[in-house]
């Protein structure tokens, strides 16, 4: 996971986890937390309000796509690099050239 380093040797025993500091890693962590919160809200809404079967294999598969695009949305808002976003930009650029 971005933003975490496992320390070996020195004053920290093997397996101690140190959080990376700095603005970028803080944004990465916040972005993940926000995307997770949105996904949880979506799943709760889908089940409680829309009556969707969130335990079905199809819902799980579709939710994985929703989660990936939610990560793109939040990462872009937070200024965090996202591979899927980069691929989407490349695809959009190639479509514009045609």
Residue whose C-alpha is closest to residue 74's, from 43, 42, 30, 40: 30
Residue 1 clears pLDDT 70, i.e. is over it: no
Tokens of 24: 């970028």
Q: In whole angstroms, what is the distance from residue 84 CA to residue 69 CA?
A: 8
The residue extents of the domains of the chain are 22-97
SS3 content of the chain, % helix, strand, coil (to 5): 65, 5, 30
* pLDDT of 7 over the 70 cut: no
What pLDDT shows up at residue 23? 79
Average of per-residue pLDDT across 41-64: 97
Is residue 5 within a helix (H) or strand (E), and if so which, with residue range?
A: strand 4-6
Average pLDDT, the chain: 83
pLDDT digits (tens, 9 = 90+) for 10-38: 554 556 665 566 777 788 899 999 999 99
User: Up-side HSE of residue 27: CA atoms within 13 Å toward CB?
Assistant: 12
């Amino acid at each position: 996971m971005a933003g975490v380093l496992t320390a070996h040797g020195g004053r920290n025993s093997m397996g101690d986890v140190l959080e990376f500091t700095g603005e970028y890693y803080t944004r990465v962590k916040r972005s993940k937390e926000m995307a997770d919160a949105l996904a949880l809200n979506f799943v709760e809404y889908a089940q409680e309000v829309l009556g969707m079967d969130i335990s079905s294999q199809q819902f799980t598969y579709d939710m994985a796509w929703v989660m990936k695009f939610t990560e793109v949305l939040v990462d872009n808002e937070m200024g965090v690099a996202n591979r899927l976003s980069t691929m989407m930009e490349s695809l959009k650029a190639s479509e514009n050239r045609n």
